[in-house]
């Protein structure tokens, strides 16, 4: 009889992995400093300090902090010139905000399939999706792995279309030695609870383009004019500013993130080396220009044909019983109820039939292959990582030797 915990055996692990979010003394000290003496909102030194430091960290000239990654996306799209009825090319394998922010800008999300090896937008599919209505391309650096920015930037240059990077998961990631986010016109980050830097909620926009950032300032700050009067408004903007307490929480994490990245890098290498020796579990490849992965997620690909046809969901249950929580992650965005469009609510989508879309790579990954581990699993010790490896090996070995247990 199998020794799997799922069938009554002893689990590999009973202790939790490192807690996230993680309170620290530096974070507490920074919060108290802001609470006592730096102001809580507009004009706070804490906000200015964070924005300056984050821009420097991400190899950008400018940073504007926002209330969330979603609002950062909307602001960036509007500042990038996206107007009602325009099209924006996005991947269908990402968090909903990448596409819903396009809808919020009264524009049309146009989905292009991903590359099945890297899970990032496929440049060839981007090129095929361009029309005369395309006004932005928004690649997502999925799981913290940079998209193929050389190819995507070349497409944008050829067609005169701005590139806005969704780097919500990619704090510290590098493309050809430069941090992502300001490689195109601009890019956004998220500081939601699960992210590698977090204030519970929050976001940021970075760029090297003066005009773009002036427009971002206006759209994120009630339409105000940078350098203008308090009650001078030039755009239909919102109050999408980050509060000072959140900024004060994020500032010390710029330093701790760099330390965390070294830990994640080391543990990811261990996992990669182990996974490549397991037939039926494949690593997700990195684009050729990637010089650092952020490891917001650790994603592998499951091949049921290597395990006697055992469904991925059975693998999840067995791994979770061993104390290592693996799960499926995203579903294709075009299947979301949001995109069963109501012409009364979204009249600019009345001729769009998202329900008829079928993107084979996205569906293969989402429906059958993707195996996710959250980033806190990579923040443990070498022994913690060995537990993950032991669980992978224990479960896959049992599926090969005792498939009937899983096929009942």
> pLDDT category, 181, cuts 50, 70, 90?
very high
CB distance 3 to 9 below 8 Å: yes
Instruction: Give the separation between CA 190 and CA 268, rounded to whole angstroms.
Output: 22
In order of 220, 297, 328, 343, the CA distances from 239 in angstroms are 6, 31, 35, 28
Q: Up-side HSE of residue 389: CA atoms within 13 Å toward CB?
A: 19
Radius of gyration of the chain (CA): 22
Tens-place pLDDT, residues 334-378: 999 988 777 788 899 988 999 999 999 999 999 999 999 999 999
CB distance 207 to 60 below 8 Å: yes
Instruction: Give the separation between CA 350 and CA 341, rounded to whole angstroms.
Output: 7
Sheet (strand 87-90) strand order: 108-111, 87-90, 134-137
Of the candidates 318, 311, 306, 298, the residue with the CA atom closest to the CA atom of residue 279: 306
Token pair belonging to 4: 């799997």
pLDDT (0 to 100) of residue 345: 87
At residue 128's C-alpha, the angle toward residues 123 and 130, to 5°, is 100
Burial of 59 from C-beta contacts in 10 A (0-12 / 13-18 / 19+): middle
- Share above pLDDT 90 across residues of the chain, in percent, rounded to a whole number: 94
pLDDT (0 to 100) of residue 308: 93
Tens-place pLDDT, residues 35-93: 999 999 999 999 999 999 999 999 999 999 999 999 999 999 999 999 999 999 999 99
Instruction: Give the separation between CA 76 and CA 212, rounded to whole angstroms.
Output: 8
Burial 349-371 (b: 16+ CB within 10 A, else e): beebebeebebebbbebbeebbb
Of the candidates 406, 316, 332, 340, the residue with the CA atom closest to the CA atom of residue 367: 332
Q: Is the pLDDT of residue 1 over 60?
A: no
Q: Which residues pair with 87 in a beta bridge?
A: 108, 134
> pLDDT category, 191, cuts 50, 70, 90?
very high
Report the number of secondary-structure helices (H) and strands (E) in the chain.
12, 13
Tens-place pLDDT, residues 192-236: 999 999 999 999 999 999 999 999 999 999 999 988 899 999 889
Q: Which residues pair with 64 in a beta bridge?
A: 205
Cα distance from N-terminal residue to C-terminal residue, the chain: 14
Instruction: Give the separation between CA 263 and CA 379, rounded to whole angstroms.
Output: 6
| Domains contained in the chain, CATH given | 25-253 (3.40.640.10), 255-407 (3.90.1150.10)
CB distance 27 to 252 below 8 Å: yes
176: Cβ contacts below 8 Å, ≥ 6 apart: 150, 289, 291
Instruction: Give the separation between CA 142 and CA 169, rounded to whole angstroms.
Output: 7
Instruction: Give the separation between CA 136 and CA 139, rounded to whole angstroms.
Output: 10
Q: Up-side HSE of residue 308: CA atoms within 13 Å toward CB?
A: 15
Burial of 273 from C-beta contacts in 10 A (0-12 / 13-18 / 19+): exposed
Instruction: Give the separation between CA 257 and CA 30, rounded to whole angstroms.
Output: 16
**Averaged pLDDT score across all residues of the chain:** 96
Q: Up-side HSE of residue 330: CA atoms within 13 Å toward CB?
A: 23
CB distance 163 to 156 below 8 Å: yes
Mean pLDDT value of segment 263-283: 97
């Amino acid at each position: 009889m199998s020794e799997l915990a799922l069938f009554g055996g002893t689990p590999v692990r009973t202790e939790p992995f490192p807690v996230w979010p993680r309170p620290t003394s530096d974070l507490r000290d920074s919060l108290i400093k802001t609470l006592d003496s730096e102001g809580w909102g507009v004009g706070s030194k804490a906000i200015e300090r964070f924005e300056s430091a984050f821009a420097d960290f991400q190899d950008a000239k400018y940073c504007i902090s926002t209330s969330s990654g979603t609002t950062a996306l909307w602001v960036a799209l509007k500042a990038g010139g996206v107007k009602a009825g325009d099209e924006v090319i996005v991947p269908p394998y990402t968090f909903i905000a990448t596409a819903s922010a396009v809808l919020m800008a009264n524009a049309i999300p146009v989905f292009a399939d991903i590359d099945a090896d890297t899970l990032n937008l496929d440049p060839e599919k981007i090129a095929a999706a361009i029309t005369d209505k395309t006004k932005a391309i928004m690649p997502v650096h999925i799981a913290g792995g940079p998209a193929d920015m050389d190819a995507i930037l070349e497409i944008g240059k050829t067609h005169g279309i701005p590139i806005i990077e969704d780097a919500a998961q990619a704090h510290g990631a590098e493309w050809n030695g430069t941090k992502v986010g300001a490689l195109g016109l601009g890019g956004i980050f998220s500081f939601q609870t699960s992210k590698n830097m977090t204030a519970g909620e929050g976001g940021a926009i970075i760029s090297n383009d003066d005009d773009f950032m002036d427009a971002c300032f206006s759209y994120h700050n009630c339409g105000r004019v940078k350098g203008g009067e308090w009650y001078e408004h030039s755009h239909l903007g919102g109050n999408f500013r980050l509060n000072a307490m959140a900024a004060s929480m994020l500032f010390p994490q710029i330093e701790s993130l760099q330390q965390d990245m070294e830990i994640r890098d080391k543990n990811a290498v261990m996992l990669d080396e182990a996974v490549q020796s397991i037939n039926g579990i494949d690593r997700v490849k990195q684009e050729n220009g990637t010089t650092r992965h952020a490891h917001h997620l650790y994603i592998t690909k499951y091949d049921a044909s290597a395990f006697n046809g055992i469904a991925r969901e059975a693998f999840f249950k067995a791994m979770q019983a061993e104390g290592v929580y693996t799960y499926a992650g995203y579903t294709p965005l075009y299947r979301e109820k949001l995109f069963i469009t109501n012409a009364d609510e979204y009249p600019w989508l009345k001729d769009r039939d998202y329900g008829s879309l079928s993107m084979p790579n996205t569906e293969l990954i989402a429906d059958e292959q993707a195996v996710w581990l959250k980033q806190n699993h990579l923040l443990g010790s070498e022994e913690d990582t060995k537990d993950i490896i032991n669980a992978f090996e224990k479960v896959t070995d049992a599926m090969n030797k005792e498939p009937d247990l899983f096929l009942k």
